[in-house]
Amino acid sequence: MTPAAPRFRLDPRVPPARAVRRLSLELLDHALTHARRGDARGIHEARRACKRLRALLRLMRSGRSKAYRTENRRLRDAARALSPQRDADVLRATARSVGLGLAVGTSPSGGSRAPAARAVQLLQAQRRAVGRWPSDALSRAALEAAVVEGYRRARRAGRQARRRPRADLLHEWRKQVKHHCHQCEAVATLWPHLLQRARALDDLGEILGRHHDVEVLALALQRQPHRFGAPEAVLPAARRLRREQEHLAARALRAGAKLFRDDPRDGFGREARR
């Protein structure tokens, strides 16, 4: 039996930097265990851990700009190494869930274990780097400032998506929303009211993630229609996917308007100090 994911909360009994380091090491062990499995469940768990690790890494960003860039790139590349199989699974699942009745063929690049091996190599390197993090490099005030900065980045990306609701800008917004969500979740032991916010952000992230999955399927229909059965089925399916995207974008923008209505220097900054 594979171990369950560690509880994604900072330990309030220890200094913030030590708590972030401890949780990061636990997540890295979890990611390594599942990446080595190489099956669909293992890849999902490893990618999920990488996203949370990048959110924690942002909490330690201040004063470590060069190390941050190196470590963030390493975690990004580990997740990307696991993406091809995940993308093929998403194509099939999205086609089924939208009810298109398309026969999604398998990806021609599927079945190789090399991507999982590359991810394991990167995660092992990151574990060594985290083990060298200083235990006193993050004060309570710096932790608060990092969480507020996460809010600011997500709010800015949302404003850009609202002005131009293109798929790439909505996807970038989703990434910032997920970072902010994971940070709120992690620090909820220090600021308990942020747990409710993390749940609302998770809901928004799911809507935006669904939008991205539909975009991936729509692009695959356009670029590789032969993978999806008879040509006469492809055009109606593409139209239906675009309508689904418009609906999802509208839902996300409505939810985001509520979650990010406060200036980070005002409402959210005060909330983080409660």
| pLDDT tens sequence across 26-61 | 999 999 999 998 888 888 899 999 999 999 999 998
How deeply is 9 buried, as exposed, middle or buried, from its count of CB atoms within 10 A (0-12, 13-18, 19+)? middle
In a shared domain, residues 233 and 185: yes
What is the total count of domains within the chain? 2
Q: Is 229 helix (H, G, I), strand (E, B) or coil?
A: coil
Residue 108 has pLDDT above 70, yes or no: no
In a shared domain, residues 60 and 127: yes
Average pLDDT over residues 247-258: 97
In a shared domain, residues 44 and 123: yes
Greater model confidence, 113 or 175: 175
In a shared domain, residues 208 and 244: yes
Residue 249 has pLDDT above 60, yes or no: yes
Parent domain of 40: 1-137
In a shared domain, residues 117 and 201: no
Residue 111 has pLDDT above 50, yes or no: no
In a shared domain, residues 111 and 231: no
Do 128 and 24 contact (CB within 8 A), yes or no?
no
In a shared domain, residues 59 and 89: yes
The span from the first CA to the last CA of the chain, in angstroms, equals 41
pLDDT tens, 182-238? 999 999 999 999 999 999 999 999 999 999 999 988 888 888 777 666 666 677 778
What is the average pLDDT value for the chain, to the nearest integer?
87
